[in-house]
A and B are shown apart, each in its own frame.
Chain A
Amino acid sequence: MTKVKAAILGSGNIGTDLMYKILKNDGNMELALVAGIDPNSEGLARAKAKGIAVSHHGIDAILEDPEIKIVFDATSAKAHKLNAQALREQGKLAVDMTPAAVGPFVVPTVNLHDHLEAMNVNLISCGGQATTPLVHAVNRVVPVHYAEVIATAASVSIGPGTRQNVDEFVRTTANAVQQIGGATIARAIPVFNPAQPPINMTNSVYAVMKEEFDEAAVIESVQSIAAEISSYVPGYRLKGTPFVDYRETPWGRLPTVVIMNEVIGAGDFFPTYAGNLDIMTASAYRVGDVYAAHYLSAKEVTQ
């Protein structure tokens, strides 16, 4: 079967976990290259051990191969802003795993098919991947006036990039809760918990509605999207059944749907508690795989 060549840019932990995901799944992509900038990085050594071509010349090595059609950028927001233009010019899809948000936000269960031609898509944040589809699932039944998401992860799974820029996480995730989730107003709050042994990633969504609604239909919609997400993030599940709680809000006493969720990682490279990192690499894999299928079918049509 023909496959589309993909490359991973960034040989850190995220890039490495994604590499194992591409290797273990027999999808539409073939991993052609892992490119980093540190010749001694553990990620490059692990790629080499798996028989994957590696380079420490960063993006240049990727640009040299015209056959590479999909590039997962697991570097930093700053680096991605520099890389985006070159990748676009060469007709390579950039799956941006940094907070750079050059291209549109994508969540596989919500809007991936709207952006298959975008050539640069952004994966928001871990909290965004986990919670925005839940808000969307409520909003497709009844308009969500206000949504608040709390994303809680083990301290040890939060890297320095996020720690030095909590503002960025908050802003990006809240924007996505509005854009992807459909809430009129949104808040996003991260919590880092240092408990030992480390906790699994958990998320809570509060969705406030200004009108009465069919509670059973909302629950069904949320449960069905959670099942869809778990098809590409196997450790994604709802904790309990979503329920309605009446809360005092600035808009009066209103029904609030409370949804709780847990994400256990697949343990490909990250420990299983780091569901927050797993959902990023699993979503990236899904986006790349769907794009690759789309690319192959488009090619067939033109041939």
Chain B
Amino acid sequence: MKIPRLTDTTLRDGDHAVSHSYTPEQVRAIVKDLDEAGVPVIEVSHGSGLNGSTIQQGFSIHSEYDLIKVAVETAKQAKIASLFVPGIGTSKELREAAELGISVLRIAVHCTEADVTEQYFRLAKELGLETVGFLMMSHTQPASVLVEQAKLMESYGADCVYVVDSAGALVQSGVRERVSALKEALSIQVGFHAHNNLGLAIGNTITALEAGADQIDGTLRGLGAGAGNAPTEVLVAVLNKMNIETGINLAILMDAAEEKVAPLMQSPIVIDRGNLSSGYAGVYNSFLLHVKHAAEKFGVGVSEIMEELGKRQTVAGQEDWILDVAVELAEKKGITV
């Protein structure tokens, strides 16, 4: 099997799990270890992408530009990447991140909306960035639709397109089908980004590799939105056991996960009722903390909110519907706030 390129996104996906509270010192320490361990790409930005610091997504305590700057300064070999969601970010933030020295831009949209990314792929290429297309909520569409959308991104200049299991709702057959279809249809690289709601983050990532994926994602200790991601250190350990030589130093990653990342966790990331019901209903993972907030405010259950959000086919960026659902559920139960 080929050696995949690993992107660690502790400092992006994990930003959701720490409620956007990363400090420049924390970023410096984590980037230093990932870089020394030999992780080739490190993603740093607000969890919802550049310019994501909003009420809807959660305000960042520290400017993400300061965090990106520290990451770029600290990394000796690793490329620094940022996530970009059209509409949350605009060309202005894209240019600023490029000026700060990021090398990779990962452009994320709901997996049916690739045509909104054209202006940003073109700009990113103009600015000399490597580009990755992120097809979020890939579980909602069959392989044929993902292929169509990925081809649009390829035509705009993407260097790679990811199947992104934002809700942690895919099982292995679903991953295999989608990744192989993209591999077959595209001449660029294909990636896979997992979430652990069904306990399949590592298994699905390995399945993606078997299906031909060129790039995969992990986060130290699995620190990511909702149920978290495939833990980077576990991925490397598994790849070692499979005799896939990534050249990444497992010992450094284990220490970083234990000593630098675990202490940042607000609570251990486990597949509790909230995370399981979220993955089961196919709801975007970064909704979790917002759902908990709304459940408490309106006196309704986390699982019932998740179930309704799944039924309404919500997509990334629709945190406001959590409130709408909570209000309606509360009204139905005759709860007044």
Contact = CB atoms under 8 A, between A and B. Distances in A.
Interface in B286-332: 297, 312-315, 317-318, 320-321, 323-324, 327-328, 331
Given A167-B91, A193-B315, A194-B315, A206 B56 contact: yes
A189 interface: yes
A138 interface: no
B68 to A, nearest CB: 18
Nearest to A241: B327
B91 A204 contact: no
A191 B113 CA distance: 10
B47 to A, nearest CB: 15
Interface in B101-126: 110, 112-113, 115-116, 118-119
B320 A166 contact: no
Contacts of B53: 250
Contact of A163 (B91, B116, B318): B116
B55 A195 contact: no
B61 to A, nearest CB: 9
Interface residues of B, number: 32
A150 interface: yes
A165 B113 contact: no
Interface in A222-258: 239-240, 243, 245, 247-250, 256, 258
B86 interface: yes
Nearest to A240: B327
Contacts of B119: 164-167
B313 A193 contact: yes
B280 interface: no
A150 B297 contact: no
B324 A260 contact: yes
A259 to B, nearest CB: 10
Contacts of A187: 54
A173 B324 CA distance: 23
B56 A248 contact: no
A189 B317 contact: yes
A77 B110 CA distance: 27
A271 interface: no
A248 B112 contact: no
B311 to A, nearest CB: 10
Contacts of A146: 55
B65 interface: no
A170 interface: yes
Interface in A32-79: none
A189 B88 contact: yes
Contacts of A245: 297, 323
Given A167-B90, A260-B323, A189 B56 contact: yes
Contacts of B318: 150, 152, 191, 193
A235 to B, nearest CB: 17
B1 interface: no
A166 to B, nearest CB: 5
A170 B55 contact: no
Contact of A170 (B59, B90, B320, B331): B90
Contact of B90 (A155, A166, A194): A166
B128 interface: no
18 contacts: A148-B55, A150-B320, A155-B112, A160-B115, A163-B113, A164-B119, A166-B119, A189-B317, A190-B87, A191-B315, A191-B317, A191-B318, A193-B110, A194-B112, A195-B312, A204-B320, A204-B323, A258-B323
Q: Which 7 A-B pairs have the closest CB atoms?
A: A195-B313, A204-B320, A194-B112, A206-B55, A167-B90, A240-B327, A191-B317
Interface of A: 146, 148, 150, 152, 155, 160, 163-167, 169-171, 187, 189-196, 199, 202, 204, 206, 208, 239-240, 243, 245, 247-250, 256, 258, 260
Given A148-B54, A189-B87, 16 more contacts: A155-B112, A164-B115, A166-B90, A189-B54, A189-B317, A191-B315, A193-B314, A194-B110, A194-B112, A194-B315, A196-B313, A240-B324, A240-B327, A240-B331, A245-B323, A256-B55
